[in-house]
Chain A
Amino acid sequence: MSLRVKRPHVRLTAAVVALAMTTGVAVAQTATSRSGDAKPDDYERWENVREIYFPDRKIEDGAAFITLEAPYRAQDAALVPVSVKATVPRDAGWSIKTVTLLIDGNPVPLAGKFHLFDEAGGGGVEISTRVRVNEYTLIHAVAETSDGRLFSAERYVKAAGGCSAPAMKNPEQAMARLGKMRMNLPQSLPVGTPVTAQLLVSHPNHSGMQFDQISRTYVPPYFVKSIKVSYAGQPVMDVETDISLSEDPSLHFTFVPKAAGELDVQVLDSKDDVYTGEWPVTPQPAS
């Protein structure tokens, strides 16, 4: 299984994908017990994945301050909501610089590497996104601190077929809004208090594993590679993404409203097309 990934950001060819698919684990959808929780194999796989993304690095248990949330049994393997929360004490002397979200069992485990900046609200982190899950697997969130340490939290998810699930229930409509974005801001934007916003990017995010039986070929991978969010000219979060993100990527992130400014988003996809969006943020003065 470790064959599937040699290094991060590997570009998938149809052959690699086909191999990944044939080695995929068969799945019964009916079991309701928790007996299928992580097995030794899952931890062996994590060792491989860890070595690929964090070679020769020690990863400490971050369960005490990182919470990784995902449904134990996903409703839709192609759209599994995942959130990472981390609380860092104000006097800790360090902050979280990146969070890497890994779906161990996916052909490309990296769902996203989130680079965080001060504008994201200081030491704490709150990120949500939606991912594809190709087979029952552990997922990991790995936080790297400003003083160079790594901490991880893990979760077991029962879902299968998310990467090869057919694209788009309504293909014509989906392609018509390619590159369009939405920003959902909370109604209340108090100055100086971190708030959560949601960014939606309309993009098919084809995994390269979706087989078209009519043309007898795989739909070529076509996905969002990076998302950069800035506020009032300062970076909030840069995300490196890959095929493990769901179609129409969704991202919840935090920022701290201050004097009037703009949220700017720049999205780059695998065809090197760039999409941009701006949203004015009108904060309310603290009362």
Chain B
Amino acid sequence: MLPNMKALIGAIILFRIAGSLPAAAAPLPVEEVAAGVFVHVGVAAYADRSNKGDVANMGFIIGADAVAVIDTGNSPALARDLRDAIRQRTSLPIRYVINTHMHPDHVFGNGAFLDDRPDFVAHANYQSALMGRADAYQRRLEEDLGAEEADKAVMVPPTLTVGDKRELDLGGRPIELVAWPAGHTNNDLTVMDRTTGTLFAGDLVFQRRLPTVDGSALGWLRDLDKLTAMPAARVVPGHGPASAPWPDGAADTLRYLNTLVGDIRALQKEGGTIERASVEAAASERQHWNLFDEDNPRNAVTVFAELEWE
């Protein structure tokens, strides 16, 4: 517990320094996808200076007593704008900041909420997965957004972790958290707003931007099997539109993963090499996705190595 407290205090100090810098306040545009459920849509691109790291979806749910934030974007500046968007709509306390997994485009804004003293909520595997990559993530943030912005980013350790399931209450508004076995990453967490049937799927569901495999492709397909059986009116994908009907909203992700796995299995059966997989696997999916050329070869290499042990 002690190292975490130290990190938290360090993070708070860092944030106060960052907070004293002039902020270009402009509330992020958000869409109310269901009563009291708001989503900001990120662009389907890599984080860079021109998009300021606004590349993943972020959302918040307003209950009768409190607010829950779901994912905080790729930078503190962006998250401050998200916070402004919340404050335009409510003055209720921000009680929870939930991270759907440890990727930088979903967590680097956490520091913007430290003053609200929320519980930071994540999957039980979140912290070890994040800390194993922290140096690389920090370096990449510096490359993508510049040293000034990267210096302000803090990695806030979770104060509440979920190993299986957990329910939170925003005041007459229960939200259900489910921790999944390794899929997109080894720490995927979904959030269901029962009141409106809105499922925040994090990066277990992608649209438009090519899914990336950083956990297990087969595990991901198993997760989606169960997830699509959960009744919901709509899904908020980690990347893609603000919301989509459920379970149809998972169709693109399922099709891509099934194609990738199917192509690689077929290739392995005929003795094909990992080099060939990086060129040929899931080639039929190219037209459907942004960043296909950038990320598909790597997915193919990752999944090839995974399937060798099937």
A residues bordering B, Cβ < 8 Å?
26, 28-29, 69, 71, 75-76, 79, 81, 128, 130, 161, 164-167, 169-171, 173, 177, 182, 184, 186-187, 200, 202, 210-214, 216, 248, 250
List of A residues within 8 angstroms of B136 by Cβ: 161, 164-166
The smallest C-beta distance from A228 to any residue of chain B, in angstroms, reads: 21
26 residue pairs bridging A and B, Cβ less than 8 Å apart: A26-B139, A28-B143, A71-B278, A75-B297, A76-B298, A76-B301, A76-B302, A81-B273, A81-B275, A130-B274, A166-B133, A166-B136, A169-B185, A169-B186, A169-B214, A170-B182, A170-B216, A182-B309, A186-B271, A200-B309, A211-B132, A212-B128, A212-B131, A213-B132, A214-B3, A216-B3
Among residues of B, the one whose C-beta sits closest to the C-beta of A246 is B305
A165 to B300, CA, bound (A): 18
A213 to B302, CA, bound (A): 24
The answer, yes or no, to whether B247 is at the interface (CB within 8 Å) is no
List of B residues within 8 angstroms of A161 by Cβ: 136
Query: Does A128 contact B273, Cβ atoms closer than 8 Å?
Result: yes
Among residues of A, the one whose C-beta sits closest to the C-beta of B143 is A28
Query: Does B308 contact A182, Cβ atoms closer than 8 Å?
Result: yes
The answer, yes or no, to whether B127 is at the interface (CB within 8 Å) is yes
The answer, yes or no, to whether B148 is at the interface (CB within 8 Å) is no
The smallest C-beta distance from B276 to any residue of chain A, in angstroms, reads: 10
Among residues of A, the one whose C-beta sits closest to the C-beta of B7 is A213
A248 to B127, CA, bound (A): 24
Among residues of B, the one whose C-beta sits closest to the C-beta of A161 is B136
Q: In the complex, which of the residues A169, A177, A184, A186 contacts B215, with contact meaning CB atoms closer than 8 Å?
A: A169
Query: Does B309 contact A202, Cβ atoms closer than 8 Å?
Result: yes
Given contacts A166-B132, A186-B271, contact A79 B305 (CB under 8 A): yes
Q: In the complex, which of the residues B133, B134, B275 contacts A71, with contact meaning CB atoms closer than 8 Å?
A: B275
Among residues of A, the one whose C-beta sits closest to the C-beta of B48 is A30
The smallest C-beta distance from B301 to any residue of chain A, in angstroms, reads: 5
Question: How large, as a class, is the contact surface on chain B?
Answer: 20 to 34
The smallest C-beta distance from B122 to any residue of chain A, in angstroms, reads: 14
Q: In the complex, which of the residues A81, A173, A187 contacts B182, with contact meaning CB atoms closer than 8 Å?
A: A173
List of A residues within 8 angstroms of B301 by Cβ: 75-76, 79, 81
Q: Which of B129, B139, B185, B301 has the most CB of A within 10 A?
A: B301
The smallest C-beta distance from B14 to any residue of chain A, in angstroms, reads: 16
A171 to B133, CA, bound (A): 14
List of B residues within 8 angstroms of A173 by Cβ: 182, 216
The smallest C-beta distance from A183 to any residue of chain B, in angstroms, reads: 12
List of B residues within 8 angstroms of A177 by Cβ: 309
A216 to B6, CA, bound (A): 13
List of A residues within 8 angstroms of B197 by Cβ: none
**Those 8 A-B pairs whose CB atoms lie nearest each other, nearest first:** A213-B131, A166-B132, A75-B298, A75-B301, A75-B297, A170-B182, A213-B134, A214-B131
Among residues of A, the one whose C-beta sits closest to the C-beta of B213 is A169
Among residues of A, the one whose C-beta sits closest to the C-beta of B46 is A30
A205 to B309, CA, bound (A): 16
The smallest C-beta distance from B104 to any residue of chain A, in angstroms, reads: 14
List of B residues within 8 angstroms of A214 by Cβ: 3, 127-128, 131
Q: Which of B297, B300, B305 has the most CB of A within 10 A?
A: B305
- For chain B, residues 39 to 83, give those with C-beta under 8 angstroms from any C-beta of chain A: none
- For chain B, residues 103 to 131, give those with C-beta under 8 angstroms from any C-beta of chain A: 127-129, 131
Among residues of B, the one whose C-beta sits closest to the C-beta of A29 is B143
Among residues of A, the one whose C-beta sits closest to the C-beta of B219 is A170
B 177-213 binary contact with A (CB < 8 Å = 1; else 0): 0000010011000000000000000000000000000
A211 to B214, CA, bound (A): 18
Q: Give 16 A-B pairs besides A81-B301, A200-B308 with Cβ atoms closer than 8 angstroms.
A: A71-B278, A75-B298, A79-B302, A165-B136, A169-B182, A169-B185, A169-B216, A177-B309, A200-B309, A212-B132, A213-B132, A213-B134, A213-B135, A216-B3, A248-B309, A250-B308
List of A residues within 8 angstroms of B182 by Cβ: 169-170, 173
List of B residues within 8 angstroms of A169 by Cβ: 182, 185-186, 214-216, 302
